[in-house]
Amino acid sequence: MYDFTACIVTYNTKQEELKKIICCFQKIELRFKLWISDNSEKDELRKFVEEFLDDRIEYIFNNSNGGFGAGHNVVIKRLGSEDTKSEFHLMVNADVFFEENTIEKIVEYMRENKNIGQIGPKIYGTDGKVTKSCRLLPSPVNLIFRRFLPLKSVVKKLDYDYEMKWYDYKEIIDVPILSGCFIFVRTDVLKEIGGFDKRYFMYMEDYDLCRRVGKKYRTVFYPEAEIIHEHGKASYKSRKMMLLHVNSAIKYFNKWGWFFDKERKEKNRECMKKYKK
């Protein structure tokens, strides 16, 4: 049995970027299995991955781009068989890297706290600044309407609570939504909730999964473990990505509720009452 399994979904990912995160995994002392789930049109990464000559790493060519969640679900379906059993599963972006002992810290803390279903580390950008990665459960105003509001002061006010800008990212807290660039969950919990919802092609699948985990288990921000995320907020840099984000947000609210979402109100109120100073 593995201590943890992991998956990186790629789509026309640069080899240098992928090499950096694979090297991070190769320094891990725990027993693990890593899959590279490739959504690209051509399996050009196969030869590159095989050059690492590491039986802990396996390449999967999906021969189509079904989206971020679909790429991970290919691997999630494999989990639980005799040769893929693991205590935990990590779904991580290719543009993330971390220092030695990062995963070990997370595994140790998860083992000490059996009621945690999903955990998230402190995230830094390449500029050295802490990324405000924790979120409350979003409303349509937070994700859709804010993009079309001309007044920056109004947008800033809307973001303050939703993006938890009042939190200093120093203490361990329970949080409604964790960043999707590094999703670390108990494997049995992931299998229980059924992996990613396939209605999302890109964006919001991580919010949806985190919310489903949080219905039964704790979702915890753990700043004792740190990672670096090189990219971010692509939907703000591309019209195409922005439209994909809006489309997924519409699917999210169709599923969970637009303006009448009792669970959202209760979860957000509980989080702010407990941690907002």
Q: How many domains does the chain have?
A: 1
**pLDDT for res 219:** 97
Q: Give, as one character, the DSSP assignment of residue 274.
A: H
**pLDDT for res 232:** 54
Q: What residues have CB less than 8 Å from 47, skipping those under 6 apart? A: none
Distance CA 159, CA 267 (A): 17
Structure tokens at 270: 């509980």
Residue-wise pLDDT for 166-208, tens only, equals: 999 999 999 999 999 999 999 999 999 999 999 998 899 999 9
Please give the backbone phi and psi of residue 87, each rounded to the nearest 5 degrees, phi first. -80, -40
Q: Which domain holds residue 254?
A: 2-275
Distance CA 7, CA 58 (A): 10
What pLDDT band is residue 5 in, cutting at 50, 70 and 90? very high
Distance CA 209, CA 96 (A): 20
Model confidence at 145: pLDDT above 70: no
What pLDDT band is residue 43 in, cutting at 50, 70 and 90? confident
Is the full-model pTM beyond 0.95?
Answer: no
**pLDDT for res 235:** 44
